[in-house]
Amino acid sequence: MKDVVPTAPRTVSHDLPVSPELARFLASDWAATPLPGDIRLPAAEVTPARRGRLSARFPGERLIIPAGELAVRSNDCDHRFRPHSAYAWLTGLTGEDQAGHALVLEPDGPHRHEAVLYLRPRSPRTDDGFYRDRRYGEFWVGRRPDLAEAERMTGLRCVHLDDLGALPPGRDAATDAELASVLAELRLVKDAWEVAQLQLAVDHTTAGFEDVVRALPHALAHPRGERWIEGVFGLRARAEGNGTGYETIAAGGAHACVLHWIRNDGPLDARQLLLLDAGVETDTLYTADITRTLPLSGRFSPVQRQVYDLVLAAQEAGIAALKPGARFRDFHRAAMRVIAEGLAAWGVLKSPEGDFHRRYTLCSSGHMLGLDVHDCARARATAYLDGVLEEGQVLTVEPGLYLQPDDETLPPELRGIGVRIEDDLLITGEGARLMSGALPRTPEAVEDWMGELTEG
């Protein structure tokens, strides 16, 4: 029997034919609708310096940074589009209308480049793409800027996307590993504008966590309370920004022991904990990343408090290790030393030495944060994982303990408890500033905060 190889589905149009008379009617009598004059992007003042830093790393070479393409969700429905982070960082353009666009840094002499934006401009009303193109037509997906408007928005020279194919080859960030690494490394240190955007993301996320606590009575009563929590936070994220910066983890009870629990389809039990790992992404695409583990009854039980206190002590040790010049891995090692000693004190481990504690806390204790939740992941290890911290970097510190419900190395009362505490921090000249400090972390403060919100 011959193997059958599935192919990508073809979209079938069910549109009725358009007669010449209707086409002429559709192309006539449209009022001018220019965008307002003050449409310059907020990031347009900082993107030239970013492009200049990239240009200096590749003298004389043509650099192509694509925004990315639409991806089919099902049949003729696409996923929401989000531009590639490097493209957004270099252009300031963050909208869903950027699919297929590309920034090209064209060599302009041996030591500089001209930045040119290749985009799909607004369709004229005389073009049937306006009403027939379901992916890009303005009738279907909304207004795009024309070339002149795009130039006013970005400060870049803008040309039609159709001209991109005529360019000679160059380094393409989608396929060139060195260019992708350099772009990630250039983003490791945030400028003041980026820090402000990240703080805005944190502030919106704080409001989202408050929304969740207020909604706990409804969530506890619903058979899929985790989904209720996800929805409540998602409402805040869409109302205040672009949406969530990553899939929300709303993990009740033993689901908190699954590191990336995003099914969020379980009920909530007032006797258990809720681990909520969530972040709002701003309209400029910077995301927060915060985790709190909350007692659904409003009060930690003694054993829940025991686990929470150990994780909090580990986080405090990790935060204390943050300073310019420290190795990136130092804060993780400091946190894990506390975890290992605590597990040994409980009798779970025979000794804090070695790496046996990793059975109960498998992942790392933090990562860089910015346009991506796991920011700058393409950076080389020498610049990131094996590098040193610098003033202006933003990162998370997020130790956790994940005591699996079927782990027979644990006493029964500890099984099924998962705790993670995660905060966002800015490396400063003196150490680190807690950007997410508006959300309580100590068990007493968490209980008081929850009581105040639910009583109100």
Burial of 353 (0-12, 13-18, 19+ CB in 10 A): exposed
Nearest-angstrom CA–CA distance, 448 and 456? 12
Which pLDDT value is given to residue 6? 41
Torsion of CA 67, 391, 49, 40, to 10 degrees: 70
Instruction: Report, as ranges of residue numbers, the positions in the chain whose pLDDT lies below 50.
Output: 1-12
Which pLDDT value is given to residue 2? 42
Nearest-angstrom CA–CA distance, 191 and 45? 12
Nearest-angstrom CA–CA distance, 372 and 365? 17
Tell how strand 243-244 and strand 280-281 pair up.
antiparallel
| Range 226-231, long-range pairs (CB < 8 A, 24+ positions) | 226/250, 226/251, 226/252, 226/255, 226/263, 226/264, 226/265, 226/266, 226/267, 226/268, 227/264, 227/265, 229/264, 229/268, 229/274, 229/276, 230/264
With residues binned 3-state (H G I as helix, E B as strand, rest as coil), the percentages for the chain, rounded to 5, are 40, 15, 45
Nearest-angstrom CA–CA distance, 108 and 8? 41
Q: Could you tell me the CA-to-CA distances from 361 to 74, 365, 378, 397, 400 in Å, in that order?
A: 37, 9, 25, 14, 6
> For the segment 60-91, what is each residue's pLDDT rounded down to a tens digit?
999 999 999 999 999 999 999 999 999 999 99
Which pLDDT value is given to residue 110? 82
> For the segment 438-451, what is each residue's pLDDT rounded down to a tens digit?
999 999 999 999 99
Which pLDDT value is given to residue 301? 98
| Range 231-236, long-range pairs (CB < 8 A, 24+ positions) | 232/208, 233/208, 233/209, 233/276, 233/278, 235/211, 236/204, 236/207, 236/208, 236/211, 236/280
Which pLDDT value is given to residue 50? 98
Angle between helix axes 47-57 and 177-186 (nearest 10 degrees) is 140
Contact assessment for residue 238 and residue 264, using Cβ atoms and an 8 Å cutoff: no
